[in-house]
C-alpha cells in the first residue's frame, strides 16, 4: 500500500476518485438527515481546490483503494463555520493549526481497517507541528453504531500518544408527527 499526497485531482483520476467516494458513502444518502455526501460538482470543486490536500491509497497493483481530504483552510469547507473555530480557538485558528478531515473513503474490497489507519496516520504526519487539532464530523450511524470517533481516537493514541478527544458540537433533528385524523388522505 502506497500513500500519495496531492493538491489536485483531475482527468481520469477524478472519475476514479468520484466512483471510490460515491460507493464508499452511498449508504449515508439514506441514513443521515443532513446530507453527508457531496454532489458531483461539489466533489469536483474540492478535488481541484489546491487548499485541500488529497491522500490517495494505492494498492500494489496500482488501484485506488482509499481517498481522504485534509485541510487547515477551514474556509475551503462549505459545511463548517470558520467563525466557530475563530471564536473558540483564536490562537490555533490564526496559526492554521486546526485541520479538517473532509472524508475518508475506503474501497469496500480488501483491507479496509488497514487502509483507513494508513490514511489517518498519513494525515497526522502531513500536519506535522502545524497540527494542534483535527476535526471530523460524524452522523449518528457512524458515531453510535460504527463508533467511528472511538476508532479514530484509538488509532491516534496508539500511533501518537496522549490525544484528547472532545465533542465540539452536536446537531439533532426533531420530527413532529400529527395524528392520522388530522392528515388529508394521499
Cell numbers for 97: 493549526
Give CA–CA dist 134/100, Å, rounded: 6
Read off the pTM.
0.86
In-domain check, residue 181: no
DSSP E strands, 17-144? 53-58, 64-71, 98-106, 133-135
Res 97: pLDDT: 95
Give CA–CA dist 64/83, Å, rounded: 35
Res 15: pLDDT: 97
In-domain check, residue 180: no
- If one counts the domains in the chain, the total is 1
In-domain check, residue 77: yes
In-domain check, residue 86: yes
Segment 162-183 mean pLDDT: 83
The CATH number linked to 27 is: 3.40.630.30
In-domain check, residue 18: yes
DSSP E strands, the chain? 2-6, 53-58, 64-71, 98-106, 133-135
The string of pLDDT tens digits covering residues 135-159 is 988 877 666 777 777 888 888 888 8
**Axis crossing angle, helix 112-127 with helix 148-160, rounded to the nearest 10:** 60
Residue 111 has pLDDT above 70, yes or no: no
In-domain check, residue 8: yes
The string of pLDDT tens digits covering residues 67-96 is 999 999 999 998 899 999 999 999 999 999
In-domain check, residue 185: no
- Please say whether the dihedral angle defined by the alpha carbons of residues 17, 21, 23 and 26, taken in this order, is positive or negative: negative
| Domain with 111 in it | 2-162
Q: If you count them, how many residues does the chain have?
A: 186
In-domain check, residue 171: no
Residue 2 has pLDDT above 80, yes or no: yes
Amino acid at each position: 500500500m502506497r500513500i500519495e499526497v496531492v493538491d489536485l485531482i483531475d482527468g481520469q483520476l477524478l472519475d476514479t476518485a468520484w466512483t471510490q467516494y460515491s460507493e464508499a458513502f452511498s449508504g449515508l444518502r439514506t441514513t443521515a438527515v443532513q446530507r453527508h455526501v457531496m454532489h458531483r460538482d461539489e466533489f469536483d470543486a474540492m478535488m481541484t481546490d489546491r487548499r485541500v490536500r488529497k491522500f490517495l491509497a494505492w494498492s500494489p497493483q496500482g488501484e485506488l483503494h482509499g481517498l481522504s481530504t485534509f485541510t487547515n483552510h477551514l474556509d475551503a469547507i462549505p459545511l463548517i463555520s470558520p467563525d466557530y473555530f475563530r471564536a473558540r480557538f483564536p490562537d490555533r485558528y490564526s496559526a492554521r493549526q486546526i485541520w479538517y478531515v473532509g472524508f475518508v473513503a475506503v474501497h469496500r474490497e480488501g483491507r479496509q481497517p488497514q487502509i483507513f489507519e494508513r490514511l489517518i496516520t498519513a494525515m497526522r504526519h502531513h500536519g506535522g507541528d502545524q497540527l494542534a487539532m483535527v476535526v471530523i464530523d460524524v452522523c449518528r450511524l457512524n458515531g453510535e453504531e460504527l463508533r467511528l470517533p472511538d476508532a479514530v481516537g484509538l488509532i491516534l493514541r496508539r500511533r501518537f500518544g496522549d490525544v484528547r478527544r472532545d465533542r465540539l458540537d452536536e446537531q439533532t433533528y426533531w420530527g413532529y408527527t400529527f395524528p392520522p385524523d388530522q392528515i388529508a388522505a394521499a
